[in-house]
Structure 1
Amino acid sequence: MFVRTESFKEFLKFYPVVSILVGLHFFLWILIDVLQFGFAQDIERLGVGVNLFILQGEYWRLVTPIFLHAGFAHALFNSFSLVLFGPALEQMLGKVKFIIMYLFAGIIGNLGTFVVNPEAYYAHLGASGAIFGIFGVYVYMVLYRKHLIDQANSQIIMVIFILGLFMTFTRPNINVLGHLFGLIGGFAIAPAILKNARPFSIWQVRARRSVSSDEITFNPNRWNKRSVPWKKFAGYVIWAAIAILVIIAVVF
């Protein structure tokens, strides 16, 4: 579920929303921080969430910070988290519901920051609130929709959830309110978007791409004929990913 075995081309086809979001993260980073075009600087200036400006009616600042990041490390960390945990949920919910959930959680994170934080000139940006919304949906699954996620993946989610909260309260320059309200937003919208959802299955996305107008070309048994040594090391890969998250958090 959280081990990516698709090729780059397959990933783009199977998970278009996650692919577009990650591409947008780095496109805006290159435009603003690397190329530093004048209009790109205006995009950042007008897109950062600032409480005072939102209070003055610039309500788009509740949305635009979701797509902006403070440097390469920030964009890389959030994109890595999105690639790791977003694809399974995109397949389970479908593209439209995933977009609704992602934006809803991100906006709730920014709205919570605006309402609760008393600092008029407090500025924030980043996709972390929306990504914590993804965690919120998974936590809801673990608690109330156990048929959608197996025990092993439930344990992984709870470890990541606890680790994410730990980093939220211990790392400097973190929008704690954005993380917490994003998590609440994802958890709150989960009952509605998980209606009719099915457990993640790589066979489902592969089958969808293998059906032609004349015949069904997908053979679910064909993969059994091949050796898949990665299954033996899947657990190690997942825990290695968790270790990388910890290392990145400590370093940056």
Structure 2
Amino acid sequence: MFIRNESFSEFIQSYKVVTALIAVNLFFLIWTEVFPFLGGYEIYLLGVGNNAAVALGEYWRLFTPIFLHGGLMHFAFNSFSLFLFGPSLETMLGRVKFISLYLATGVIANIATFYLGDPMLLHLGASGAIFGLFGLYLYIVLMRKELLPQASQQIILTIIVIGVIMTFVNPGINILAHLFGLISGLAVAPLFLSRVNRVSRYQRAHEPDEIGFDPQRWAKRKQHRERMWLYIIGGIAAMISFFWLVDFLFLSRLW
């Protein structure tokens, strides 16, 4: 279930939200790390989690750190976790619920960091959202076992235990974000899983147009790919526009 054997194009077509999230994370990593002189440094300063700034009213910082990372290894760890464990939830929940879960648990983790963390703390990364996904998986293992095979349940429990242990062992980890991401995912799981059952999960996993011969299949796939790239480019453009707007409002306050 967590072993990815799709081709690159099949993965993109099947898991659009996971692909878009990884692409956005990569875009901002390259912008802030490789091209700081092209506005990347300003984007980093405006988007990083900053408890003192949030206390002054910069509430967007409860959201923007989810898409920023402190280097290649930080990005690689979170993106690889999303790559492995995101697709099954995107299939199970559907795209809207999945992205809502990801963003909601990430924001809740950052709110907990703001209220319980050091007032001068700076933080960034998608770890709170990733642990939110693990929290929903944990609820499935505890309360909805029929949604996951036994082997997958064991893998999830092992990953969660290792993740929690490493949270306290590794230096520089936002412990509050990890813990409250996990707790929030566990808490909201009943809401997100209320209409999910084993049958509906597999119905979503197997698209009806995969069976039989369609003479327009390749034309449809081409159109599908074109729309997909439009969505990705549009999403990136929207994120850039958002940060530029934040930049404008921030500079306006300085003046």
Alignment of 1:192-211 (within 5 A): 192-199=191-198, 204-210=204-210
- Are 1:10 and 2:32 counterparts? no
Q: Aligned partners of 2:179 and 2:83: how far apart in 1?
A: 21
Aligned partner of 1:158 in structure 2 is: 157
After superposition, the C-alpha distances for 1:130-179 in whole angstroms (9 at most, x for unaligned) are: 00000000000000111111211111100001000011000011000000
Q: Aligned partners of 1:90 and 1:195: how far apart in 2?
A: 15
After superposition, the C-alpha distances for 1:101-131 in whole angstroms (9 at most, x for unaligned) are: 00111001100000111x2220000000000
CA RMSD of aligned residues (A): 2.1
Aligned partner of 1:110 in structure 2 is: 110
Q: How many residues are treated as equivalent by the alignment?
A: 215
Check conservation: 2:92, 2:204, Cα contact below 8 A: no
1:198 deviates by 3.5
Alignment of 1:55-70 (within 5 A): 55-70=55-70
Q: Return 5+ residue gaps in structure 1 as ranges.
A: 218-252
Q: Return 5+ residue gaps in structure 2 as ranges.
A: 218-255
After superposition, the C-alpha distances for 1:198-225 in whole angstroms (9 at most, x for unaligned) are: 349678534345268979x9xxxxxxxx
Q: Aligned partners of 1:7 and 1:198: how far apart in 2?
A: 28
- Are 1:149 and 2:148 counterparts? yes
- Are 1:173 and 2:193 counterparts? no
TM-score under structure 1 normalisation?
A: 0.80
Q: 1:2 to 1:49 in 2, by over 3 A?
A: same
TM-score under structure 2 normalisation?
A: 0.80
After superposition, the C-alpha distances for 1:67-122 in whole angstroms (9 at most, x for unaligned) are: 000011100111000001000000000000001100111001100000111x2220
Q: 1:207 to 1:44 in 2, by over 3 A?
A: same
Alignment of 1:41-190 (within 5 A): 41-117=41-117, 119-190=118-189
- The sequence identity of aligned pairs, in percent, is 50
The list of structure 1 runs, each at least 4 consecutive aligned residues, that deviate by more than 3 angstroms after superposition, is 198-206, 211-215
Q: Aligned partners of 1:112 and 1:204: how far apart in 2?
A: 34
1:37 deviates by 3.2
Q: 1:212 to 1:111 in 2, by over 3 A?
A: farther
Deviates more, 1:33-42 or 1:119-128: 33-42
Q: Secondary structure at the match of 2:82?
A: helix
Q: Secondary structure at the match of 2:195?
A: coil
